[in-house]
Amino acid sequence: MERKKKILIGISGHIISDQRMIRIGNALLDFGYDIEILYRNYYKYKSNDKENALKFDFQIKGYKLPINSGIGMYLLLNHRYFWSQLFKSADAYYAVDSDTLLAFTFLSKIKRKPLIYDAHEYFCEVPELKSKWKKKIWHIITQLGVNQSSVRYTVGPQLASELSKRYGKLFGTIKNVPSISQKTIEITTSKRPIIIYQGALNEGRKIELLIEAMQQLPMCDCLIIGEGDLSLILRQKAASLNNVIFKGLLTPDELRAITPTCFAGFNLLDASQSLSYYYSLSNKYFDYMHAGIPSISSRLPEYLDLNEKTRAGVCIDDTLIDLTNQIKRWLEFPNEYDKLKENANIASKTYNWEKEKEVLKTLIKI
């Protein structure tokens, strides 16, 4: 029996929170590869004892670090990944984002094996990298990895084009979309329209604007699902409002049960915060689409293009008046709103993991 070729994958977060890599890991298994994913065994916002018991069809190995933030964490993580794998064999190395790229670039060079680079975002331009010297260091690391890589892709065509220009190598696109075969669970819900936000509660996500809008939309409720650096601040901001509910972290199954019961999905971003936000194509946009609810997005390249093609949502200016007016308009003109819902369901048959999986298959040939 012929030995399966092994692809070693490295991520800097916990595997349970990376739905994209779970999908990709399972897809690569289906393609006939032996898959192992290295991850950082750290989950900031709740105990992961239950999640650690989750079983995957591919191999996983977690690494606990004595520090879990800052440049020291990234250096230590790459050090662990490199030395733990230096004397082990793999047929290809797969780095997820620039923060695992250093170790996998050197492993690829030393072992003379292919390097795959999967950029989930414009890492060197995320808002957390405010200083010029930090950006420069990460750009150098990324350029080294890109030069070594044989396959490169990211989450959206606009970012793929930008990264191709920035680093001088062609990037493909694998969108971070749900599977069309995933079924939602029907649950009873309030008759009141619910505006949902799902994702990290971090700077630049315009969640403060959403909370302000709820003061002018007493006929609606708002669900904020996720945690992040602004968790406490946002809860304090909404403390006096009865129609803003924080649900914390939910599992993908729980999200798939709740989202279809909502009225609209919130997806505004402050592009002035970073180029990474400007070129973003968030998974929540497609989660809303697959739930059959219209989304409200910022006027950014990916969302403008997709909404032009699908008519499954709208793009607005990131202002309080535009946000409240849009929701009031949908409440006032239900036929217009229902057409958007119908379009979202139609679009989910085009933008889904079953189709992206076939694109992945054409890109990875080890």
pLDDT tens digits, residue range 114-167?
Answer: 999 999 999 988 877 777 888 899 999 999 999 999 999 999 999 999 999 999
Question: Torsions phi, psi of 161, nearest 5?
Answer: -65, -45
pLDDT tens-digit map of 231-268: 999 999 999 999 999 999 998 889 999 999 999 999 99
Rounded to an integer, the average pLDDT of 293-306 is: 97
Residue 1 — pLDDT band, cuts 50, 70, 90? low
Average pLDDT, the chain: 93
pLDDT tens-digit map of 59-84: 999 999 999 888 889 999 999 999 99
Say what the pLDDT of residue 69 is.
86
Q: Is residue 47 over pLDDT 60?
A: no
Say what the pLDDT of residue 53 is.
55
Say what the pLDDT of residue 191 is.
80
The CATH code of domain 194-347 reads: 3.40.50.2000
Q: Is residue 184 over pLDDT 60?
A: no
Q: Is residue 30 over pLDDT 60?
A: yes
Q: Which secondary-structure segment (H or E) carries 9?
A: strand 6-10
CA 266/CA 174 separation, integer angstroms: 23
Q: How many CA within 13 A on the CB side of residue 275?
A: 13
* DSSP conformation class of 312: S
Domain boundaries, the chain: 6-177+353-363, 194-347
| Rg (the chain; Cα; Å) | 21
**What are the DSSP calls for 104-148, one per residue?**
HHHHHHHHT--EEEEESS-GGGSTT--SHHHHHHHHHHHHHHHHH
CATH topology match: 6-177+353-363 vs 194-347: yes
Q: Is residue 46 over pLDDT 70?
A: no
Q: Is residue 51 over pLDDT 70?
A: no
CA 109/CA 167 separation, integer angstroms: 19
Stated pTM of the model: 0.93
Q: Is residue 187 over pLDDT 70?
A: no
Q: Is residue 337 over pLDDT 90?
A: yes
CATH classification number, 6-177+353-363, choose in 3.40.50.2000, 3.40.30.10, 3.40.50.300, 1.10.357.10: 3.40.50.2000
Say what the pLDDT of residue 182 is.
66
- CA-wise closest residue to 245 among 204, 211, 294, 201: 211
Report yes or no: 261 and 187 within 8 Å, Cβ to Cβ. yes
- CA-wise closest residue to 9 among 112, 158, 116, 128: 116
Instruction: Give the distance, in angstroms, between the CA of residue 294 and the centroid of all CA atoms in the same chain.
Output: 19
Rounded to an integer, the average pLDDT of 171-181 is: 94
Residue 190 — pLDDT band, cuts 50, 70, 90? low
Structure tokens belonging to residue 92: 């290809």
Residue 94 — pLDDT band, cuts 50, 70, 90? very high
